[in-house]
Amino acid sequence: MFDNTPVLGRSESAQEVTNKVLRNTYALLGLSLIPTVLGAFIAINMSFSFAQQHPFIFAIGAMAVLFGMFSAIEANRNSSVGVFLLLALTFLLGLMLGPILQHALHLRNGGQIVGLAAGGTGIILLTLASIATTTKRDFSFMGKFLMVGIILMIVASMANIFLQIPAMTLAMSAIGVLLFSGFILYDVSRIVNGGETNYVMATLSLYMSIYNLFTSLLQLLMGTMGSND
């Protein structure tokens, strides 16, 4: 299903290699949604009492596990082990959707909100991926701005664990939608312009952008449309 060729072959043009990486990335991205959905369904019925009682410790622990998985995937980026590790990561991230999905589904219109978040994420992905693919414009200049933005968001999120300011949560969600939309444009542009030639790492980057876009959009919709009546 996937071609593990990491570099330009003698008989292939640069465009053929780029197309191959793009096809493999989209195929693996589609496959990665299966363990994500499975993990999310399992998580809906799980107890996250520890995360609720100790949110800061849970957040630090989750980040440590995720960065460990990122390192393992990168170390195995040119083998099938990297694919299996990526799928394991997407299952884990599906489980981590549990708290926000439980919160959303306890709202009167929770099912509608989750559906809108998923649909909105899909529309944004298709639109931005099409722009990056058809225009072939190089959006690599966005990289530094996006990285600064993500660092600031992480710091603000950690601070808000203690502050618990609803308006701050809503503002960060709105910023997150813009930020991770930018990351999708950046990620696809890197593949199209040959900046990323490994489909495992390309999928990891694009998946994380989509995942965080969905959670930001879901949080934003819960804050603006959620109803407990």
137-148 pLDDT per residue, tens: 888 889 889 999
pTM of the model: 0.87
- Rounded CA gap, 96 and 110, in Å? 18
Confidence category of residue 9, pLDDT binned at 50, 70, 90 = very low
Percent residues over pLDDT 70 in the chain = 93
Q: Is the pLDDT of residue 28 over 70?
A: yes
Q: In this prediction, what percent of the chain has a pLDDT beyond 90?
A: 60
pLDDT recorded at residue 136: 80
pLDDT at 100: 92
pLDDT, position 130: 93
* 100-117 confidence digits (pLDDT tens): 999 999 998 989 999 999
Residues present in the chain in total: 229
Burial of 166: CB neighbours in 10 Å, binned 0-12, 13-18, 19+: exposed
pLDDT at 207 over 60: yes
CA 155 and chain centroid, separation: 18
Nearest to 197 by CA among 11, 28, 24: 24
The predicted structure's pLDDT at residue 228: 67
Identify the pLDDT of residue 229.
56
The more confident residue out of 213 and 156 is 213
52-55 contacts, C-beta under 8 A, 24 or more apart: 52/99, 55/161
pLDDT at 8: 46
Least confidently predicted of 2-11, 32-41, 63-72, 74-83 = 2-11
Mean predicted lDDT score pLDDT of the chain: 88
